[in-house]
Amino acid sequence: MSAVEHRFGPYGGQYVPETLMPALEQLEQAWTAACADAGFQAELRDLLEHYVGRPTALYHAARLSGLAGHPVYLKREDLLHTGAHKINNAVGQALLARRMGKTRVIAETGAGQHGVAAATACALLDLRCVVYMGTEDMRRQRPNVDRMGLLGAEVVGVEAGARTLKEAVSEAIRDWVANVEDTHYIIGSAVGPAPYPAIVRDLQRVIGDEAREQVLAAAGRLPARVIACVGGGSNAIGLFAGFLDDAEVELIGVEAAGEGIASGRHGAPLSVGGPPGVLHGALEAVMQDGEGQIVEAHSISAGLDYPGSGPQHAHLRDSGRARYEAVEDTDALAAFARLSRLEGIIPALEPAHAIAWVLAHPGSELDLVCLSGRGDKDLAEALALLDDTL
């Protein structure tokens, strides 16, 4: 019996080349041991507090609340070191890599936030770091490419397919297949073969655990709705994890509708709800054609530009515990500009989708939104588009 979930309902599993199976087993054992090891937990807690910057603030966004017509609280993961929630997972997994005696770390990145977080954690723990990134994303997220270089990581451009996150993950997995003996793969979202979805959720659930305590202290009640953007879905699963047992709290994942669901150019496999498929080692909600070929996603935000999603999300959807809806590029862009003016907070384009959803769905008693990252990385891309549309 495994203490770490391999399946969430029918979803999840381990659809990887045989070469990786022993490494997944080793990872699961190391994680189980680390969870039971007070020393490991203390070191992680210490780093999260003094290095990463936890706990993050829960902020009552008064002017946003005024516009929405109901109270809206923002969980400020944008205030973390490196500017997004990704660092919670990267630091935890880098500690785990060291514990397993691995000297080399690989990671994939879309928006660059996970790549920067992995490069940061590896600099801190003196691990070699190689980050795979689609060349289209390298173009869209230049500042993060420069950051990773400065942090000592090697950024490898991936030219396959649409040159975005999906291909970066595939290339990272191929590297891992070839170098599994000395290398740990720090996957950046709650996706991939078991035990990754469970490990990433457990490392991100600090978001939800803190937020629950904070909202009770600040508002004296639980939120009516808890809202987070979903690409692979790590900030969302981390936030949701804190509220799963609170049946009265509605959980809403916001995917990228891109240029509109009908256009086919989106990143919303959970919202669309087609048959599940296997991508990057797990059975999950994916975007695929009738032949089972994975199709390219599209989103204005590189972090949501992914045709798959974490397996636990598909199960939460099917069981009715969470629901998933999608927001188009233009609405996310408008929310990006709006939050900047209203609150003096420039959000990443990813959580701007969650903000847009809240503004489009009034009538709540209290919303809690995960502001998963800050928007500096998106400035060039967003400003160019805002000039076109405004």
Partner 1 sequence: MSEANGIERIAEAFESSARESRAALMPYLMGGFPDLARSQEIGAACIEGGADVIELGLPFSDPLADGPVIHAAGTAALRAGATFAGVLEIAAALAPRIPVIVMAYANSLFVRGVGAAAGALAEAGACGLIVPDLPHEEAGELRGACDARGLALVPLVAPTTPAERLAEIGAHARGFLYTVSVTGTTGERERPADALVEVIARARSSTAVPVAVGFGIGSPAAAADAARAGADGVIVGSRLVRAATDAQAQGASEAAVVRALVRELRAALDVAGAATPVVPR
- CA distance linking residue 124 with residue 44, whole number of Å: 13
The nearest distance, CB 17 to partner 1, in angstroms, is 4
130 binds partner 1 (CB under 8 A): no
* Catalytic residue of the set 28, 77, 86, 325: 86
Task: Tell the smallest beta-carbon distance from residue 19 to partner 1 (Å).
Answer: 4
**Residue 293: CB minimum distance to partner 1, A:** 4
CB of residue 199 to partner 1, shortest distance in Å: 18
Among 65, 77, 102, 108, which one carries the catalytic annotation?
108
What x-and-dash track marks residues 267-286 binding partner 1 by CB under 8 A?
--------x-xxxxx-x---
Size of the site for partner 1 (CB under 8 A): 36
Which residue in the set 288, 299, 301, 372 belongs to the binding site for partner 1 (CB under 8 A)? 288
Q: Is 290 in the site for partner 1 (CB under 8 A)?
A: yes
* 1 touches partner 1 (CB under 8 A): no
Residue 9 in the binding site for partner 1 (CB under 8 A)? no
Does the annotation count 86 as an active-site position? yes
Told to check if 323 binds partner 1 by CB under 8 A, we report no
Active site residue 102: no
Segment interacting with partner 1 (CB under 8 A) among 8-16, 228-236, 309-317, 368-376? 8-16
Residue among 2, 3, 10, 17 that touches partner 1 (CB under 8 A):
17
If binding is defined by CB under 8 A, does position 23 make contact with partner 1? yes
Which residues, other chains included, contact 285 with Cβ-Cβ below 8 Å and sequence gap of 6+?
11, 269, 270, 273, 274, 276, 308, 309, 313, 314, 317
Q: How far is the CB of 110 from partner 1 (least distance, A)?
A: 15
- Whichever of 192 and 242 has its CB closer to partner 1, that residue is 192
Q: Indicate if 255 belongs to the active site.
A: no
180-239 residues near partner 1, rule: CB under 8 A: 180-181
Answer for which of 39, 217, 247, 291 binds partner 1 (CB under 8 A) is: 291
Q: Does 15 contact partner 1 by CB under 8 A?
A: yes
Q: Contact positions toward partner 1, by CB under 8 A?
A: 13-23, 160-161, 166, 170, 173-174, 177-181, 275, 277-281, 283, 288, 290-295
Enumerate the active-site residues. Answer: 86, 108, 372
